[in-house]
Amino acid sequence: MSTQPFIPPKRILMGPGPSNVHPRVLQAMARPTIGHLDPQFIKLMDEIKELLRYTFQTKNELTFPVSGPGSVGMEACLVNLVEPGMKVIVCINGVFGGRMKDIVERCGANAIVVEAPWGEAISTNKLEETLKKNSDTKLVSFVHAETSTGALSDAKTLVEIAHKYNCLTIVDTVTSLGGVPVKVDEWNIDAVYSGSQKCLSCPPGLSPVSFNEKAIEFIKNRKHKVQSWFMDINLVISYWGSAAKRSYHHTAPINALYGLHEALLLLKEEGIENSWKRHKENNEKFIEGLKSLGLGIFVKEGQRLPELATVKVPDGVNDAQVRSRLLNEFNIEIGAGLGILAGKIWRIGLMGYTSNEGNINACLSALKQILNN
């Protein structure tokens, strides 16, 4: 058994997440732990809620980070807004839509799937056709930025259509938040969740969520108890809600929240519009560079995620070998394809703190050297 402290290697994290963490976030996380009900900590919680409202572009009172990774945020939204026997439309154009369907079915609901080919955005027409045929649907859920394929869907229009048919909406913004516009109030999203480890430049483990009044009203009037004690919003609210006196629900990950606070401050200092612009411009430079190496881009123009390029593995090139050479010789991590795209694409992220010119040049130059010999 080792008796040495673990010192991680210095990597450039250009996979589908986590991205590199800003040093200020790491420093914040190393500060002394205080109690999760200390008045100074409650003050920090209020600041985090306010900064998250800015990040999500919302005034929703119930905006806070769930203690857990993005999948817990996903589950928290679904278990609160899905009741047994309910009809739910789940849009699937990659791995994470599939995960939503699994959770919906575990809630005892009837999941109707609107499917799009992997690598394409969800079709707004197809959603509308499915809603017409299933007028008793109560909820529509979809992934804004599908990290398994690199496709960006039109969240604003999908939500608009869902509301036309009186459905609530849940939007996964794990990869989109901070990297592309996510406008919760303007787009009228009812429930939204994200993750700390992508465009927010924070370590994994926290999932910012936000619920509007309509979603809260649904949760308060549920016929069945939320089947998860930990994620039941009616209970979590005692700790993260607006009451002057907060009470114990679970022991919050205190130092992780120091980190999120610092990451959100950094985003506020940069200005969220500037962050969206930086991701877009860096992606354009990167795509140009990839093309000049003769590499093909998997997603068609207009539907590409600025924070994640999906690149076709050229014929005759060993996908795993290229990734392991990038890691071992250049300290650059990129992601493999998932599911049906395994071995066919690379997923190269330019998310949050990772999205800068130095990393673009380092990755292009390393790929050039590896592909040439």
Ligand X SMILES: Cc1ncc(COP(=O)(O)O)c(C=O)c1O
**Tokens 């919760």 appear where?**
184
Binding residues for ligand X, rule: CB under 6 A, are: 16-17, 69-71, 74, 96, 143, 147, 172, 174-175, 195, 204
* Nearest distance, CB of residue 324 and ligand X, angstroms: 21
Q: Tell me whether residue 17 or residue 306 sits nearer to ligand X (CB atom).
A: 17
Q: Which is nearer to ligand X, 195 or 289 (CB)?
A: 195
Burial class (CB in 10 A: 0-12, 13-18, 19+), 294: exposed
Closest CA to 127 of 170, 103, 153, 162: 162
- In the bound complex, what is the minimum distance in angstroms from residue 142's beta carbon to ligand X? 10
Q: Specify the 3-state DSSP secondary structure of 349.
A: strand
Q: Please report where in the chains the tokens 């190393």 appear, as a residue.
A: 30
The least distance separating ligand X from the CB of residue 255, rounded to whole angstroms, comes to: 18
Closest approach, Cβ 97 to ligand X, in A, equals 9
**Shortest distance, CB of residue 235 to ligand X, whole angstroms?**
21
- The owner of tokens 């009037």 is 221
Whichever of 149 and 165 has its CB closer to ligand X, that residue is 149
Query: How many whole angstroms from its chain centre is CA 341?
Result: 20
d(CA 54, CA 52): 5
Which residues are 308's β-sheet partners? Answer: 349
Sign of CA dihedral 44, 49, 55, 59: negative
State the nearest-atom distance from the C-beta of 21 to ligand X, in Å: 14
Choose between 208 and 289: whose C-beta lies nearer to ligand X: 208
Tokens of 246: 């907060």
Q: Classify strands 332-336 and 345-349 as parallel, antiparallel or unpaired.
A: antiparallel
- Say how far residue 99 (Cα) sits from the centre of its chain: 13
Q: Nearest residue by C-beta to ligand X?
A: 70
Radius of gyration of the chain (CA): 21
Phi and psi torsions of 170, nearest 5°: -125, 130
Nearer Cβ to ligand X (17/208): 17
Are 165 and 130 a contacting pair, CB within 8 Å? Answer: no
Spatial separation of the C-alpha atoms in residues 24 and 30, rounded to whole Å:
10
Q: How crowded is the C-beta side of 172, counted as CA atoms within 13 Å?
A: 33
Q: Which tokens is 180 given?
A: 């592309």
> Cβ of residue 144: shortest distance to ligand X, in angstroms?
8
Q: Shortest distance, CB of residue 268 to ligand X, whole angstroms?
A: 23
**Toward ligand X, which CB reaches closer, 49 or 99?**
99
* Cβ nearer to ligand X, comparing 119 with 195: 195
Q: Is the Cβ of residue 96 or residue 218 nearer to ligand X in the bound state? A: 96
